[in-house]
Amino acid sequence: MGCGMGKSSLQEKKSIRAALLIQRWYRQYVARLEMRRRCTWNIFQSIEYAGEQDQIKLYSFFGFLMDHFTPASSERNLISHIFHENEICRDTEWERYFCYKDIEVPDSYTGPHLTFPMTFCGVSKLVEAFKHKQQLHARYVLQILGETWRLLRILPNINYVSVSQTKEITICGDLHGQLEDLLLIFYKNGLPSSEKPYIFNGDFVDRGKSSLEILLILFGFLLVYPNDLHLNRGNHEDHIVNLRYGFTKEILGKYRVHGKKILKLLQKIFSWLPLATVINDKVLVVHGGISNSTDLCVVSRVDRHRYVSVLRPPKTVHQTLNGNKNEDDNGPAEGRSKTFTQIVNLLWSDPMPQNGCISNEVRGGGCYWGPDVTEEVLGRHNLQLLIRSHECKQDGYEFCHNRRVLTIFSASNYYEVGSNRGAYIRMGTDLVPHLIQYQASRTCRELTLRQRYAHELSALRALREQLFVHKSDLIRAYQEFDPHHTGKISMRHWASATESVLKLGLPWRVLRSQLVSRTHYGMVDYQQWIKDILETMYRNHSNLETIFRIIDTDHSGLISLEEFRQTWKLLSSHLKMEISDKAIADLAHSIDFNKDGSIDINEFMEAFRLVDLSAHS
């Protein structure tokens, strides 16, 4: 028996040792996957913010041209329409523009039929129709938009709402055109009603494919329950941002006849959206955030409708003695700058862990504010919590600044399927946020542990594009560490040079094995790595598409040869290319393949590629 007991004890020790080894291996495996997940997340977020920064720079470039070109310049006239949206327009003119009565609904139309004033039954019918991929007729779209505009005009800049023992409030973050997330929230939490109030905290549109459907549902419930559904403006409720991130394209694709009118009306509606909501005088809900100069008294007095785009302050328009309108940018400049900055910070800012308040160079707009600013601003306004959105979070939410700032993000699977959860908040009279998480796609809930991290391939693909588009700048940076022109540099120098060019704040040495397949004794062969890479179409694709949509003033999908010539004159400095008038004319005629005197988007993109190739040959 003694011998038997010894063998049993030895076997048990071996089993325990094996279990510990398996446990250690599994923990290391999970830790590696977690590191890769965080790295993937940083890639997605860095590229997203770089794109926003690029958009603001492009708009600033056009603003510079508008400020410095002479009024008679045809090039100035080519782009002036994107800034005219910020001018004051009489309400009677807009009333005529919202008119829908001459639009007939044909008998062949199979979508939902709406009656006005809107009712709960009517909006519920709209939700069901959109759930089944039906499209609402343009007449009804214009009716909803017109009624929404009339309602928004009487709302204050800051909505003050109350919760009670019997009525909690629900707060949702960014939806970004993802209808599946909105429908899931309604399924889990219930439809908006007088007993179930909601706050939707901006960024309803762009990126996703169902931005208009989300707007129409929210506007419908707003019309039925104006005291119980509250909409805050986000930084994507801006027609200039929409040119780049998909909403403009979505509208024109779904409504080819009335799309231009719908877009025009939505620009006006976006400018009338309230800027913030305050719950029980203690909780501030705003899309982006605050700054050290945030003053809710100033915000409450702003003429918000004048900021059709918050990327550029509106001009002051006054009547002259002969009845003509003059634009005046000189007016009370200090006051205009203060109110403009207030709005930009509310819509574009992000929190940071360090104290202070600095310019948000990553996004290109708003600021970064620290916990000291949170304490000061909340204390000054007798508030206890700031709820904001604007940033995608892996769990759908995140506390910071000693739990006095809460970020809520409601678009799940934002970067890729499985990349993040969505979340919303329920809040009662105790003003304690209760967080509910979800993932809209059923497939991502069924992924294995390893499959959940497969979206890192998409992140790396996007990062390689960013590397490729900056080929020329990267080569110059690498050559500074390669005085003997060997074509090879150390891994440390490769990481340092790459970050100096892209400025994405990524762990490049960790990523090196995923990005660079060949090394020689620890040296990176950078010449081989980026050989035969065509950069221009990657670099300028988003900018060029945005520029094309700006110049295509009638949204026809075509620009004339003369507009093409003027475009080149404008952009030669922006893209650092030099080309003569004759070369432009020859190029225009050569890419007008069907010789119809106009150029579509594909021909436009090809023109820039051809010129770049000739410049490098």
Task: With CA atoms as reference, report the closest residue to 207 among 396, 447, 416.
Answer: 416
Sign of torsion over alpha carbons 295, 300, 306, 309: positive
Name the catalytic one among 236, 239, 258, 455.
Answer: 236
Main-chain phi, psi angles of 178, to 5 degrees: -95, 90
In angstroms, the CA 470 to CA 454 distance is 26
Cα 127 to chain centroid, rounded: 24
What values do phi and psi take at 68, rounded to 5? -115, -15
How many alpha carbons lie under 13 Å from residue 405 in its C-beta half-sphere?
27
Q: Report the distance separating Cα 365 and Cα 372, nearest Å.
A: 21
Distance, in Å, from the CA atom of 584 to the CA atom of 107, rounded to the nearest integer, reads: 50
Concerning whether 236 is annotated as a catalytic residue, the answer is yes
Q: CA separation (Å) from 205 to 174, 228, 229, 298? A: 9, 21, 18, 27
DSSP letter assigned to residue 167: B
**Strand 598-600, strand 523-525: pairing:** unpaired
Whole-angstrom distance, CA of residue 423 vs CA of residue 392: 11
Q: What is the CA radius of gyration of the chain?
A: 27
Residues contacting 595, CB < 8 A, separation 6+: none
- Residues involved in catalysis: 236
